[in-house]
Structure 1
Amino acid sequence: MLEKGRELSKLVDIELDESIGRSTPDVEHERAVAIFDLLEENRFQPVGDTGGGPYKLKLSLAEHRLVFDIAREDGEQVATHILSLTPFRRVVKDYFMVCESYYQAIRTSTPSQIEAIDMGRRGVHNEGSQTLRDRLAGKIEIDFDTARRLFTLVCVLHWRG
């Protein structure tokens, strides 16, 4: 279904609810880059929606759950999906630990050490992205690149939550 109308099966706006809060400059930068990249290129289709997009997504936190509030570009409500953040705890913790190592390595390590840590960082990120895709299965169809960018946001939201 993702390929039926690329311009219709996509996000054109992402809003982060005030429940998200603010964080460190590094995390805020990651958030901004993820949102920019996500809006530049994504595949996003609520399962069963026959009205078509493009879509607006509002993310919020409610009782340690991530809320996906989906509307059409004109504001018409499409769906709301709520995901528990519990399945992401371990992978998010691992991701932040390897990111910390990566940022430290940039200052003091050799290029080959930095590359090895970065490969580990990408591997953990891919694992989290696949978990997100699996959790959204049957609710929202997304491709892997979209899942990667959304997982970056989940990391930021989970850390703040």
Structure 2
Amino acid sequence: MKANGMVGNEGHGRLIDVVLDETSIAPSTPDIEHERRVAIYDLIEENRFEPVGKPQGTFKLKLSIVDRKLVFDISDADGEPVVTHILSLTPFRRVVKDYFLICDSYYQAIRTASPSKIEAIDMGRRGLHNEGSRLLMERLEGKIRIDLDTARRLFTLLCVLHWKG
């Protein structure tokens, strides 16, 4: 059994493909590109993703930002549209801004700082990441059921889309 109380991916809907809209992505650093690749890989490997009111199954997700809104375009495994959800980015503004600031500090620290300083910054980074993930879960309530691990990976992708270079 997993720490979140779920056993593998059985018994619920899941994502089998995640694409970020290339027009929504600004040029980024190698660190941001690495975070993007890892988040997508981890998300596909293990997730819980259930559009509310739709049959359980496997889904494809395209994430984009349109007019300062986060767009979840969800299709079934065959690419047939299932549902689109649009979330305002306004509630995420502060946590994303703070997360970017602490990530910058973290990436600078891992090059020169002591292990204790890196650990302290990383604890703050993880705390902000969890805060953003819980906010995403709240904003998706009644739309898409996800677990915390899925929310964490989706929040990372939200940050990648939000990144302005």
Length-normalised TM-score, structure 1: 0.92
Tell me by how many angstroms 1:160 deviates: 3.7
Distance in 1 between the 2:153 and 2:162 partners?
14
Residue equivalent to 1:71:
75
RMSD: 1.8
How many residues of Structure 1 are paired with residues of Structure 2 in the alignment? 158
Q: Distance in 1 between matches of 2:137 and 2:11?
A: 21
**Deviation of residue 23 (structure 1)?**
2.0
Task: Tell me the residue number matched to 1:36.
Answer: 41
Partner of 2:23: 19
Kindly indicate whether residue 108 of structure 2 is the aligned counterpart of residue 95 of structure 1.
no
1:82 counterpart = 2:114: no
TM-score (norm 2): 0.90
2:3 maps to none
Identity %: 68
Point out where structure 2 has 5 or more consecutive residues left out of the alignment: 1-5
Q: Is 1:143 aligned to 2:116, yes or no?
A: no
Deviations 1:89-133 (A, max 9, x none): 100010011111111111221111111111110000000000000
How far did residue 19 of structure 1 move?
2.2
**Per the alignment, in what secondary structure is the counterpart of residue 19 of structure 1?**
helix
The alignment status of 1:159 with 2:136, answered yes or no, reads no
Q: Is 101-110 or 87-96 further displaced after alignment?
A: 101-110
**Contact 1:85–1:158, Cα closer than 8 Å, also in 2:** no
Q: How many angstroms apart in 1 are the aligned matches of 2:32 and 2:68?
A: 19
Letter in 2 for 1:15: V
Q: Is the deviation greater in 128-137 or in 7-16?
A: 7-16
